[in-house]
Amino acid sequence: MNNSSNKRINIYFITIVITLGGLLFGYDTGVINGTQFYFSKYFELTGALKGFIVSSALIGALAGAACSGILSKSIGRKKSLIIAAILFAISAWGSGLPSILPESISLMVFFRILGGIAIGMASMNAPMYIAEIAPANKRGTLVTFYQLAIVIGFFAVFLATYFIGNGMTESENISMGWRYMFWSELIPAFLFLSLLFFVPKSPRWLMMKGKENEAKDVLTKIHGEEIGNQEFIEIKESIQSEGKTVKVSIFSKSFLPIIIIGTILSVLQQFTGINAVLYYGADIFEQALGFGKEDILLQQILLATVNLVFTFIAMFTVDKFGRKPLLMIGGFGMLIGFLMMGFTLYFSDYSQLNSAGMPTISSSEGIISLVGILIFIASFAMSMGPVVWVILSEIFPNKIRSVALSIAVAGQWMANYFVSQTFPIIVESDVNKLQIKGGVWNNALPYFIFSGFIILIIVFVWKFIPETKGKTLEEMESVFAKK
């Protein structure tokens, strides 16, 4: 009885430590939203330059994800995460340093890119590490902790920047407040770095490096002697089987289809439009839905709360209901949410504009659109948000897992950057203008485009994603081979 309890504490402690990488992912991504209003005034930035600084972390994340596969395979998952933690701390410290000197804008971009590299490394290594230490019957739940940590990171940085900013005048925030917002990330960064030294190395990585005794010891401590020995044998047989091939190539017939499926699923996660809503939520509420500035804070809190609550639902159901059912249910939910919003906007009668030139719509139309966004967020949070990370962490064979996952995650960051850059262009396009201004889509075009991609996701999941619930990592190759 005590032995079982100790094992559970051990596996959950390791998982929580590793998912701090996800919390920093969410925190670092979100901190730019709280700071950009003030440092834009401090540096007197143009819109284009502000956009470049805001999106520079995404460029770093792409680079970090692309290189982390080789790095993880070479030095291991744990050491890769330690490097990521150090980069998070350097980025947080450096982003708050720039002064009024002309070159300080370039300096801020440099430190934001460093933070992005850390995000890319953490987003690849953290879920993979968790999947490699988790028992098959709990792997979905434990990997979902990673997505939960990202959501908590967003929520935490929202509160931190709000309380820091609320305690200062606007001039104080412009001169120093945004620096404190960046520096607040040092707390979780140092916590993550410190605790990483108390977790073991990935047993599957140790096995691939020929350190069988160390790997067996880790598996036994985590799962107990009986299950640990069983997993040790399965991993050894899998690696020996893969080792019979003279040269392992990601382009081989047995590996390439799995990599393509994983990468497409990873990319499609971004084409749901989730980050368009998270990055530009305030603009959506004000410009498209006609809410006043005094209402936007309430809407942002609603988004963060719904996101958090429904991520918990995914955690408690992913190993019970399975991955594929959650993806299908969430897909239809996201579609309903965006179609509600799209059709409400399209048929809205924007007969008047307020003094700021923003549309005014009826309260009932505004509420329907808001409910549509909340349904979308809830559906994403219980499906494509966490479940994609679960599937990506478990479908790739041992020999290619780090490289294949880095390809899939790099593709996701490319899609994230593309959506983040094109969303405001589509929103401001002539064809999307209000009908009273000569436009066609009445502010609804982006949400119909995202709806089209969500339909594609539903079809793709139904046709190409098998159920992986309860399967060991060593069984995954045969599961996908049947597809």
Q: Do 264 and 389 have their domain in common?
A: yes
State how many domains the chain has.
Answer: 2
Contact predicate 413/61, CB 8 Å: yes
Residue 214 lies in a domain: no
| Residue 353 three-state SS | strand
- Among 183, 199, 215, the domain boundary falls at 199
| Residue 359 three-state SS | strand
Pairing mode, if any, of strands 352-353 and 359-360?
A: antiparallel
Angle between the N-to-C axes of helices 293-317 and 384-394, in degrees from 0 to 180, rounded to the nearest 10 = 40
Q: Do 266 and 134 have their domain in common?
A: no
Q: Do 166 and 89 have their domain in common?
A: yes
Question: What pLDDT, on the 0 to 100 scale, is given for residue 185?
Answer: 95
Instruction: Using alpha carbons, select from 405, 412, 413 the residue that is nearest to residue 59.
Output: 413
> What residues have CB less than 8 Å from 8, skipping those under 6 apart?
none
User: Residues 120-134: pLDDT tens digits?
Assistant: 999 889 988 998 888
Structure tokens given for 31 = 């901190």
Question: What pLDDT, on the 0 to 100 scale, is given for residue 281?
Answer: 67
Q: Do 303 and 420 have their domain in common?
A: yes
Domain span including residue 64: 1-199
Question: What pLDDT, on the 0 to 100 scale, is given for residue 417?
Answer: 85
Structure tokens given for 316 = 């408690």
Question: What pLDDT, on the 0 to 100 scale, is given for residue 363?
Answer: 61
Residue 282 lies in a domain: yes
Q: Give the domain CATH number at 102.
A: 1.20.1250.20
Q: Do 109 and 192 have their domain in common?
A: yes
**How many whole angstroms separate alpha carbon 270 and alpha carbon 72?**
24
Question: What pLDDT, on the 0 to 100 scale, is given for residue 41?
Answer: 82
Residue 382 lies in a domain: yes
Q: Do 131 and 38 have their domain in common?
A: yes
Q: Do 265 and 152 have their domain in common?
A: no
User: Residues 63-93: pLDDT tens digits?
Assistant: 998 888 889 989 999 999 999 999 999 999 9
Q: Do 265 and 182 have their domain in common?
A: no
Residue 369 lies in a domain: yes
pTM reported for the whole predicted model: 0.77
Residue 177 lies in a domain: yes
Q: Do 288 and 371 have their domain in common?
A: yes
Residue 95 lies in a domain: yes
Instruction: Using alpha carbons, select from 137, 206, 196 the residue that is nearest to residue 217.
Output: 206
Helices (H), 271-362: 274-279, 281-283, 293-317, 323-346
Q: How far is CA 427 from the centre of its chain?
A: 23
Residue 219 lies in a domain: no
Q: Do 295 and 403 have their domain in common?
A: yes
Residue 237 lies in a domain: no
Question: What pLDDT, on the 0 to 100 scale, is given for residue 2?
Answer: 42
Q: Do 26 and 133 have their domain in common?
A: yes
Mark the ranges of the chain whose per-residue pLDDT is less than 70. 1-9, 47-48, 99-103, 241-251, 280-283, 285-300, 350-364, 438, 472-483
Question: What pLDDT, on the 0 to 100 scale, is given for residue 242?
Answer: 59
CA dihedral 129, 135, 136, 140 (to 10 degrees): -60
Burial of 184 (0-12, 13-18, 19+ CB in 10 A): buried
Q: Do 319 and 432 have their domain in common?
A: yes
